[in-house]
Amino acid sequence: MKFSGLIFANLFRKKVRLLLTIGSFAVALFLFAFLAVVKSAFSRGTEVAGADRLVIASRVGLMQTLPISYDDKIAAIPGVKAVTHNHWFGGVYQDEKNFFVQFVIDPENMRKVMNEFVVPDDQWANFEKDRQGAVVGVKTAKRFGWKIGDRIPIKNSLYGPTKTWEFNLDGIYHNDRPGGDENQFWIQWKYFDENVPAGVKSTAGWYVLKLDNPDDAARVAKSIDNMFANSTYETKTETESAFAAGFVKQFGNIEFLIESIGMVVFFTLLLVTGNTMAISVRERISELGVLKAIGYSDRSVLFFVLAESLVIALIGGVLGLGLALVAVPVLGAALNGLLPSLVLSPAILSLGLLVALLVGGISGLLPGIGAMRMRVVNALRRV
Amino acid sequence: MGKAAAELPQSKIGAPKMIRVDGRGNGNSLIQVRGLSKTYRRGGEEIQVLQRLNLDVDKGDFVGFMGPSGSGKTTLLNLLGGLDVPTQGSITVAGDEITHMSASKLTQWRARHVGFIFQMYNLIPVLTAFQNVELPLLLTKLSKSERRKHVETALSVVGLPDRMNHYPRQLSGGQEQRVAIARAIVADPTFLLCDEPTGDLDRKSADEIMSLIHRLVKEYGKTVLMVTHDPVVAKQADLTLHLEKGLLVEGGPQRQEVAAGGVA
């Protein structure tokens, strides 16, 4: 384009300012990408939740357990295809920082309900036979360099005095849902039940059931909650996605928090860039006046200002998002287990670029309109 | 405006021509100004800068405008260049009446017909001499190679063919003004408007610039309207008109010299 020389020459007029403005964009877009990745990580549980699954937890909250006897009663409700139960184990492998999710599972029914978790049959068979057996997600196995047959000591203080539980690694699972969790560590309920204090024996943390037909979700949930109404252990049954969303909410309103920070970043960037563009235009009013005098239209002047602003936004945006592309996997690895997998998706990258261009466009618009409306005679007087 | 008919002979460009300021031109003039007034409103006060001016300028004329500060010289130049609109009256250039053109039409008209030369050169500091001169051509449909040819020619005319890759900061004031002149002539405009073209230059550079402008008039037949308050510079115009309190008056020093036998 024949005007590119003029646009780029003006861009590089104040190199330090250009670098700082591009830097602001890059940092802001990096932050944007990171926040979006965290937000998406928190909501991924909801996105990958099965539409045909219900979760039954205590009406009081997740910390309250339910009797294991509910298992058969739930399974007997028409429309329920299979039921399984889980418990939170909450142990520590070697060091507190080596956090990963550990669930006590029911091997008999687990795969009937949670069929996205794929474990080779021979490994699963070994696990079922081995009371001290464990199955781990491929990511956690990779993280700690575990292989089948390894003995894994997990220190636990949630159930009685602190003691080390030892498990044999019998299987490694993959998740066949895109973005699905591959970090969990599963142990057998029977072994758990034998070793926990009396108050925890014969309990489940929560139940998960699979429906014959997702359309029956409301009816089955109502039947379960009615069945245990007015008992010592009342239940709250909800779809798995609602349960996942509720779980995320335990951390506070993450979505609101992230969106608020994102908006602050957006407006700060808008003010910074808008101010820079306004200064940049003000500094060369007379030059823009000369351009108009020699025949450049008002729209051309607006175009030049907008083009500069958009180029800054584009370069800064690409840099920031590029930085995020490199940094997110590193941060994800550093936070492994504390947050669900951090994935910088093409959708987030596209949205980031769109936000950058939007900020660039808006911040260039006001000074550009000012330059467009400026009278040549007044501009030339400012030489 | 003194006498109604002020017919001033031009002694420098071929056969004597008549610059008329009485509004009775023959209708064939390149520039015809009729009843031109400009009033500014400052606060609650109206300031009449120009009062019912008439002027006829033919192709190839080199006219200087002199006058004290605030006499309306630059305002007149702005009006003639289509940078400002008059309160009353009309300006017709090469048959086009510009006073009623829309802003966008006027912009296009300026690009085609007017070459501006400013006191402070007004080059874009981040562009080379070549790029500065090329600016008006970017608005045309000329190809890149054609633009290059035109720019090289313009820079050769002003004597700076070897400075085309220099930035304004690498040039002297006189050289900057030469580049500005090259920018003004590169698109071959109908006329040139010079606002104190030597106002920021030393005498030697000023003389060089004036001789260049003279050459543009003599060799290339350019029509030049120049504002100056330097009598030495004004003398170089074929004819100088005086603006006083918004009126074009005859009988200034130049007028007397013209009457006495021409300008040296």
Residue A285, min C-alpha distance to chain B (Å): 11
The candidate with the shortest Cα–Cα distance to B193, out of A293, A284, A375, is: A293
3-state SS assignment for residue A374: coil
Closest CB to B83 among A12, A293, A298: A293
Q: Where are the domains of chain A?
A: 4-44+253-381, 65-232
Model pLDDT for residues A219-232, shown as the tens digit of each residue: 999 999 999 999 99
The distance of A14 to chain B (nearest Cα, Å) reads 10
State the average pLDDT over residues B85-107: 93
* A16 against B70, higher pLDDT: A16
Are A294 and B81 in contact (CB < 8 Å)? no
Cβ of A298 within 8 Å of Cβ of B78? The answer is no
Q: Give the range among A105-114, A173-182, A308-317, A368-377 with minimum mean pLDDT.
A: A173-182
Q: What is the pLDDT of residues B227-240, one digit of tens each?
A: 998 888 888 888 88
Which contiguous run of DSSP H or E holds residue A154? strand A151-156
User: Is A290 in Cβ contact with B122 (below 8 Å)?
Assistant: yes
Query: How far is it, in rounded angstroms, from Cα B99 to Cα B36?
Result: 10
DSSP state of A383: -
Which residue in B has a C-alpha nearest to residue A300's C-alpha?
Answer: B139
Rounded Cα gap, residues B223 and B1, in angstroms: 24
Q: Taking CB atoms and an 8 Å limit, are A287 and B81 in contact across chains? A: no
Evaluate whether residue B119 is within a structural domain: yes
pLDDT value at B264 more than 80: no
Residue with tokens 């997600």: A137
Q: How far is B264 from chain A (nearest CA, A)?
A: 33
- Average pLDDT for residues A120-143, to the nearest whole number? 94
Average pLDDT over residues B145-169: 95
All residues of chain B having their beta carbon less than 8 Å from the beta carbon of residue A1 are: none
| Least confident window among A166-180, A239-253, A258-272, B28-42 | A239-253
Confidence of residue B257 (pLDDT cuts 50, 70, 90): very low
- Residue A130: band (very low, low, confident or very high) from pLDDT cuts 50, 70, 90: very high
CATH of the domain at B126: 3.40.50.300
Q: What's the pLDDT at A102? A: 93
For residue A202, pLDDT beyond 60: yes
CA–CA min distance A376, chain B (Å): 6
User: Is there a contact between A290 and B124 if contact means CB atoms under 8 Å apart?
Assistant: yes
| pLDDT at residue A340 is higher than 70 | no
Orientation of helix A346-373 relative to helix A15-48, angle to 10°: 140
Q: Encoding tokens for residue A93?
A: 């492998």
Selected for mutation to probe chain B from A288, A291, A294, A372 (highest B CB count within 10 Å) is A294
Nearest to A9 among B104, B112, B126 (CB): B126
Confidence grade of residue A257 (pLDDT, cut at 50, 70, 90): confident
Q: How high does pLDDT run on average in chain B?
A: 84
Alpha helix positions (H), A250-382: 254-283, 285-293, 298-334, 346-373, 376-381
Q: Is residue B54 scored above 70 in pLDDT?
A: yes
Q: Does A290 touch chain B (CB under 8 A)?
A: yes
Question: Cα distance from A377 to chain B (closest Cα, Å)?
Answer: 6
Query: Is B185 among the domain residues?
Result: yes
* Option in A2, A12, A380 nearest B138 (CB): A2
The whole-angstrom separation of Cα A13 and Cα A280 is 9
Q: Which residues of A touch B113 (CB under 8 A)?
A: none
A106 phi and psi angles, rounded to 5 deg: -110, 95
State the nearest Cα–Cα gap between B191 and chain A, in angstroms. 13
Q: Which residues contact A94 (CB under 8 A, 6 or more apart)?
A: A153
| A371 touches B: beta carbon within 8 Å | no
Asked if residue B104 has pLDDT above 70, the reply is: yes
Token pair 């605030």 in the structure block, residue = B70
By C-alpha distance, the chain B residue nearest A10 is B126
Pairs of residues, one from chain A and one from chain B, whose beta carbons lie less than 8 Å apart? 67
What is the greatest pairwise CA distance in chain B? Answer: 54
Give the contacts of A87 (CB within 8 A, at least 6 positions apart): A65, A103, A104, A189, A192, A203, A204, A205
Two tokens at B254? 């130049």
Please check whether residue A106 is in contact with residue A85, taking contact to mean a CB–CB distance below 8 angstroms. yes
Position A48, amino acid:
V
- pLDDT tops 70 at residue A349: yes
Task: Tell whether B188 is within 8 A of chain A (Cβ).
Answer: no
Amino acid at B73: K
Q: Is the Cβ pair B116, A377 closer than 8 Å?
A: no
Across the interface, whether the CB atoms of A293 and B112 are under 8 A apart is answered no
Report for A94-98, B66-70, B130-134, B218-222: range of highest mean pLDDT = B130-134
Total number of domains constituting chain B = 1
How high is the mean pLDDT of chain A? 89
- Tens of pLDDT, residues A274-319: 898 899 899 989 999 999 999 999 999 999 999 999 999 999 999 9
- Answer whether A286 touches B (CB < 8 Å): yes
| Residue of chain A nearest B132, judged by CA positions | A6
Query: Which pLDDT does position A251 carry in this prediction?
Result: 67
- The answer to whether residue B90 is domain-embedded is no
* Ramachandran angles phi, psi of B2, nearest 5°: 70, -140
Burial class (CB in 10 A: 0-12, 13-18, 19+), A172: buried
**List of chain A residues whose C-beta atoms are within 8 Å of the C-beta of residue B72:** none
Long-range (24+ apart) CB contacts under 8 A made by B12-19 are B12/B62, B12/B238, B12/B262, B12/B263, B13/B60, B13/B61, B13/B62, B13/B217, B13/B218, B13/B238, B14/B60, B17/B58, B17/B60, B17/B61, B18/B56, B18/B58, B19/B55, B19/B56, B19/B57, B19/B58, B19/B61, B19/B63, B19/B239, B19/B241
Number of residues written out for chain B:
264
List chain B residues with CB under 8 Å of A5: 127, 131
Q: Higher model confidence: residue A245 or residue A172?
A: A172
Mutate to test the interface with A, among B135, B181, B200 (most CBs of A within 10 A): B135
Instruction: Decide if B73 touches A, using CB distance below 8 A.
Output: no
ipTM reported for the complex surpasses 0.90: no
pLDDT at B109 over 70: yes
- For residue A6, the chain B residues in CB contact (below 8 A) are 124, 127, 131, 135, 138
Q: What is the pLDDT of residue B262?
A: 35
pLDDT at A337 over 90: no
Which residue on chain B is closest to A383 by alpha carbon? B120
Here the tokens at position A278 are: 């306004």
End-to-end CA distance of chain B: 26
Query: Of A102-116, B23-37, B245-259, which range is least confident?
Result: B245-259
Specify whether the CB–CB gap between B160 and B178 falls below 8 A: yes
Handedness of CA B47, B49, B51, B52 (dihedral sign): negative
Distance of CA B251 to the CA centre of its chain: 22
Please indicate if any CB of chain B lies within 8 Å of the CB of A3: yes
Q: Which of A282, A286, A284, A276 is nearest to A309 (CA)?
A: A276
pLDDT in tens, A35-91: 888 888 776 655 555 568 999 999 988 789 999 999 999 999 999 999 999 999 989
Tokens of A160: 């009685």
- Count the helices and strands in chain B (H runs, E runs): 8, 12
Q: Do A293 and B135 touch (CB under 8 A)?
A: no
Q: Do A295 and B139 touch (CB under 8 A)?
A: yes
pLDDT given for residue A132 in this prediction: 95
**Closest to A93 measured CA to CA, from A41, A132, A143:** A143
Give yes or no for residue A361 having a pLDDT over 90: yes
| Statement: residue A253 has pLDDT above 70 | yes
| B103 near A CB under 8 A | yes
- Tens digits of residue pLDDT in A168-194: 999 999 998 877 788 899 999 999 999
Q: Do B122 and A296 touch (CB under 8 A)?
A: no
Q: In terms of residue numbers, what domain contains B137?
A: 59-82+100-261
pLDDT at position A194: 93
pLDDT of residue A160: 84
Q: Which residue has the higher pLDDT, B41 or A135?
A: A135
- Could you count the other beta carbons within 10 Å of the beta carbon of residue B20? 21
| Radius of gyration of chain B from its Cα atoms, rounded to whole angstroms | 18
Q: With an 8 Å Cβ cutoff, is A15 touching chain B?
A: no
Cross-chain Cβ contact B183/A286 below 8 Å: no
